[in-house]
Structure formats: C-alpha cells, structure tokens
C-alpha cells in the first residue's frame, strides 16, 4: 500500500513537471513569434522612414498567411494620413516594396490626364484612384507617367466624369479619340467612365465620388457608365459595353 501511494505521488510530480516544461516551451515559442513579428515590423517601418524621410504610423501586420511569399504591413503617412499604405517584405529575398508612390503620383497624374481628357470632353473631371499593388523600388518621384503606367502592372486607374448633352450619339467616337490620345503618349490606363446628369458634375469631388457614382442613389447623378481596360498594345481588351443607370 505504501509503495502504491509513493508511486502515485511520484507520478503526479512527474506529470506536473512535464506540464511545466510544456508550458515553458509554449511560452518560449509564443515569445519568439511575437519577437519575430516585432522585429519584422520595426525593420519595415524603419525602411519606410529612411526611404521617404518621414514618419509612418503602424496600423497592422499580417504574418498568418503562411502560403504568401511576403509579410504585409499597413501604415499611414504624415503626407497622406487618410490613406492606407501597403508595405510587403518578401520572405525569401528580404526585399521590401510598397505602394507609397501611388499616392505621391496622384496629383501629377490627375493634372496631366485632365489636360488630355478636356481636349476631348470639355466639361469633365478626372480622378486617379491610388492604392494599387506595391511597385518596384526602382520607381522614383521623377519617373515619367508613361513609365509609371507600366510599373503599376494594371495601368493608371482613372475615374472620368463627363457632362455632354450629345453623349448618346458620340460616346463611342469620343472614347476612341481618348484611346488614341493615350496611345500617343504611351499611357496604359483602365478607365471607369461616367456620363453625369446636367448640373451635377461640379458637385463631384474626391470625397464623395464613390458614393455618388456607385452608391445606392447613383441614378440621381449618373446617366451611363462603362469600364475600359487597356492592354500593353493600348487596345481596350475587355469588350466594354455602355450601361444605362436607372
């Protein structure tokens, strides 16, 4: 009986010891994961700070998708506080890329494209939609718009608002004229084109364009729309169709 009691006590002590070891092991692993995530976060944040000479606010980091070849982090910048900037660090090479330049290029792109579009559509507005995929580190602020349209992979993402009383009869002719103008300048673009009701275009801006153009009450603003995706040959490849908004 005494032997059985002694064996039982020893077994309990061994089990407690093993649980403690396992707990310590798991705690150590968890600390390693947190430490690793923290070091990657700090590395990526420091890279952005040095690259652009400004402060960035950390938003989130994603290291859980183990199939992805990169760790992705979201930050906000001093210059573009209302936007989420994507930073990716590739696991195999350690290369860090981001889409900050997409926000930096917005003003230049809108100014240049507005001049082109107004030659064809005198009463119009052009909005560049930044926030696309990260671009190579070779992209610098002095890059040409034509080169940048290639580096973005998907081309320049543009929303074009037009007021034209003759849109029903000239829309196809006009969009081909615009395609030719873009081809001459070697600008690869994808175009979300909206014909706007009379008297509404001046009320559309960057803050409300998404709501008024595609929201539940867009029929109060939009007459017709179509989406045009340009390929490397500067042709529209998606067989676009005009759609009336009712």
Q: What pLDDT score was predicted for residue 206?
A: 95
Beta bridge partners of 226: 193
169 shares a domain with 70: no
89 shares a domain with 127: no
Q: Is the pLDDT of residue 239 over 90?
A: no
236 shares a domain with 151: yes
108 shares a domain with 58: no
Residue, of 39 and 216, whose pLDDT is higher: 216
133 shares a domain with 37: no
Residue, of 148 and 6, whose pLDDT is higher: 148
- Read off the pLDDT of residues 103-123 as tens digits, 9 standing for 90 and up: 999 999 999 999 999 999 999
Q: What pLDDT score was predicted for residue 66?
A: 66
Confidence class for position 167, pLDDT limits 50, 70, 90: very high
154 shares a domain with 189: yes
112 shares a domain with 93: no
End position of a domain, from candidates 59, 78, 98: 98
CATH number at residue 58: 3.10.450
Q: At what angle do helices 167-185 and 106-120 cross, to 10 degrees?
A: 130
77 shares a domain with 153: no
Confidence class for position 62, pLDDT limits 50, 70, 90: confident
> Which long-range CB contacts under 8 A does 241-245 form with residues at least 24 apart?
242/171, 245/218, 245/219
Q: What pLDDT score was predicted for residue 29?
A: 36
Domain range for 112: 102-244
37 shares a domain with 6: yes
What is the SS3 assignment for 217?
A: coil
Q: What pLDDT score was predicted for residue 154?
A: 86
Distance separating alpha carbons of residues 89 and 47, to the nearest angstrom: 10
End position of a domain, from candidates 77, 98, 119: 98
Q: What pLDDT score was predicted for residue 38?
A: 58
66 shares a domain with 140: no
- Read off the pLDDT of residues 129-146 as tens digits, 9 standing for 90 and up: 999 889 999 999 899 999
50 shares a domain with 30: yes
Q: What pLDDT score was predicted for residue 217?
A: 96
Number of domains in the chain: 2
Confidence class for position 65, pLDDT limits 50, 70, 90: low
Interval 90-100 mean pLDDT: 93
170 shares a domain with 62: no
- Read off the pLDDT of residues 1-19 as tens digits, 9 standing for 90 and up: 445 444 444 344 444 444 4
Can you give the three-state secondary structure of 156-179, one letter per residue? EEEEEEECCCCHHHHHHHHHHHHH
The rounded mean pLDDT for the chain is 86
Q: What pLDDT score was predicted for residue 67?
A: 79
End position of a domain, from candidates 51, 82, 98: 98
Query: Which of 50-64, 168-182, 209-223 bottoms out in mean pLDDT, i.e. has the lowest?
Result: 50-64
């Amino acid at each position: 009986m005494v032997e059985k009691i002694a064996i039982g006590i020893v077994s309990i002590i061994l089990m407690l010891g093993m649980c403690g070891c396992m707990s310590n092991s798991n705690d150590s692993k968890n600390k390693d994961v947190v430490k690793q995530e923290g070091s990657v976060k700090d590395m990526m944040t420091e890279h952005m700070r040095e690259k652009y000479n400004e402060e960035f606010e950390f938003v989130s980091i994603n290291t859980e998708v183990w199939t992805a070849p990169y760790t992705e982090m979201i930050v906000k910048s001093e210059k573009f506080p209302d936007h989420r900037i994507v930073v990716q660090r590739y696991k195999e090479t350690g290369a860090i890329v981001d889409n900050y330049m997409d926000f930096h290029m917005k003003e230049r792109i809108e100014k240049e494209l507005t001049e082109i579009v107004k030659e064809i559509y005198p009463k119009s507005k052009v909005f560049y939609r930044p926030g696309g995929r990260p671009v190579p580190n070779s992209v610098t602020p002095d890059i040409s718009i034509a080169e940048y349209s290639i580096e973005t992979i998907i081309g320049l993402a543009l929303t074009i608002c037009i007021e034209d009383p003759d849109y029903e009869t000239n829309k196809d002719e006009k969009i081909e004229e615009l395609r030719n103008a873009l081809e001459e300048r070697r600008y690869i673009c994808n175009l979300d084109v909206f014909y706007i009701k009379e008297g509404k275009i001046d009320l559309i801006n960057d803050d409300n364009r998404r709501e008024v153009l595609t929201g539940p009450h867009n029929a109060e603003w939009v007459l017709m729309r179509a989406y045009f995706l340009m390929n490397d040959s500067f042709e529209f490849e998606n067989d676009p169709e005009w759609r009336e908004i009712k």
